[in-house]
Amino acid sequence: MINHKIEKMLNKQLNDELYSSYYYLAMSAYFENNAFEGFAKWMRMQSDEERVHAMKIYDFIHQVGGKVKLTTIKTPQTEWANPIAVFKDTYKHECEVTKSINTIVDTALNIKDHATNNFMQWFISEQVEEEATTQRLLDQLKFIGADKKGLFMLDREIGQRTVIT
């Protein structure tokens, strides 16, 4: 049977992952509304990926005998000044997700919940990748600045994304 504190934390993370999906979908809409099809596709795939993450947690909670408790998903921001602002927010958001996941792992280790600790290791690795990817894209956008040709090229490049994990 799952520890009550861990169950509560996992449910919060499940709902946070669903919010992340909604947040990235709002970013996708922003890019689509501003004729950045590649960025829009990348963010839409990011949204899909976050929903997959939520469902992994959903399934795990049930697998260990817990109860899933869905909560209200707040309305995400929908406007940004430019692509750099979007990716600054993306990177900041991923860092917050990492912190939350680390807190779950810390708690699981403290109470010797080896199943949850083992399950969450996938998310630890995933967050290393998420932070690195968003930081790289933010760095590229900062380098490009307002150069329209550079933005066009990066938009086309990241629109080639095909993998959802």
Domains of the chain plus CATH, in order, are 4-158 (1.20.1260.10)
Query: Using 50, 70 and 90 to split pLDDT, how confident is the model at 164?
Result: low
DSSP letter assigned to residue 77 = P
Rounded Cα distance, 99 and 105, in Å: 10
Query: Using 50, 70 and 90 to split pLDDT, how confident is the model at 165?
Result: low
DSSP letter assigned to residue 160 = T
Report the sign of the C-alpha dihedral through residues 120, 121, 122, 125, in that order: positive
Residue of 157, 164, 160 whose CA lies nearest to 137: 157
The identity of residue 77, as a single letter, is Q
Instruction: Round the average pLDDT of the chain to a whole number and report it.
Output: 96
Q: Is the pTM of this model over 0.75?
A: yes
pLDDT tens digit string along 10-21? 999 999 999 999
Query: Using 50, 70 and 90 to split pLDDT, how confident is the model at 6?
Result: very high
Specify the pLDDT at position 1. 83
Specify the pLDDT at position 162. 82
Is residue 48 helix, strand or coil?
Answer: helix
